[in-house]
Amino acid sequence: YIGFGFPNSSSSVAVDEELVGLHEKYTLKFSHVVAKNTPKGLAAAYFAELIKEKTNGWVEVQLFPNGVLYSAQEEFEALKKGDIHIIAPAFSEVTLHDRKWTALDLPYLFDNEIMVEQAFEGRVGDLLLESIEQKGYKGIAFWDNGFKQITNNVRPIVYPEDIKGLSFRVMPSDALFKTYRTVGAKAVTFPFNEVYNVLRDGIVDGQENTLSNIYSKGFYQQQKYMTISNHNYLGYVILVDPEFWSTLPEIYQMSIQEAMNEVSIWLRAHAKELNNDMLHRIASSSLTEIYEQSEEEKVEWRKALKPLYDEYEFIIGRELMEELRKLQI
Q: How far apart are CA 190 and CA 200, in angstroms?
A: 14
Using CB under 6 A, pick the residue from 84, 90, 106, 163 that binds ligand LMR: 90
**Could you give the 3-state DSSP secondary structure of residue 180?**
helix
Instruction: Calculate the alpha carbon distances from 252 to 7, 20, 51 in Å.
Output: 21, 11, 9
User: From start to end of the chain, where are the E strands?
Assistant: 26-31, 59-64, 86-87, 138-147, 149-152, 167-170, 186-189, 206-209, 225-228, 233-240, 289-292
Considering beta carbons, is residue 54 or 85 the nearer one to ligand LMR? 85
Smallest separation, CB 244 to ligand LMR (Å): 22
Q: How far apart are CA 250 and CA 136, in angstroms?
A: 20
Residue at 18: amino acid letter:
E
Contact string (CB under 6 A) for ligand LMR, positions 270-309, x = contact: ----------------------------------------
Q: Is 234 in the site for ligand LMR (CB under 6 A)?
A: yes
Residue 185: which of 209, 200, 158, 206 has the closest Cα? 206
Query: Binding to ligand LMR (CB under 6 A): which residues in 24-43?
Result: 33-34
Using CB under 6 A, pick the residue from 120, 192, 215, 301 that binds ligand LMR: 192
Using CB under 6 A, pick the residue from 37, 55, 167, 209 that binds ligand LMR: 209
Smallest separation, CB 98 to ligand LMR (Å): 17
Query: Binding to ligand LMR (CB under 6 A): which residues in 57-76?
Result: 72
Query: Binding to ligand LMR (CB under 6 A): which residues in 143-172?
Result: 145, 171
Considering beta carbons, is residue 33 or 128 the nearer one to ligand LMR? 33
Smallest separation, CB 37 to ligand LMR (Å): 13
How many Cα atoms within 13 Å fall on the side-chain side of residue 317?
11
Residues that bind ligand LMR (CB under 6 A): 33-34, 72, 90, 145, 171, 192, 209, 213, 234
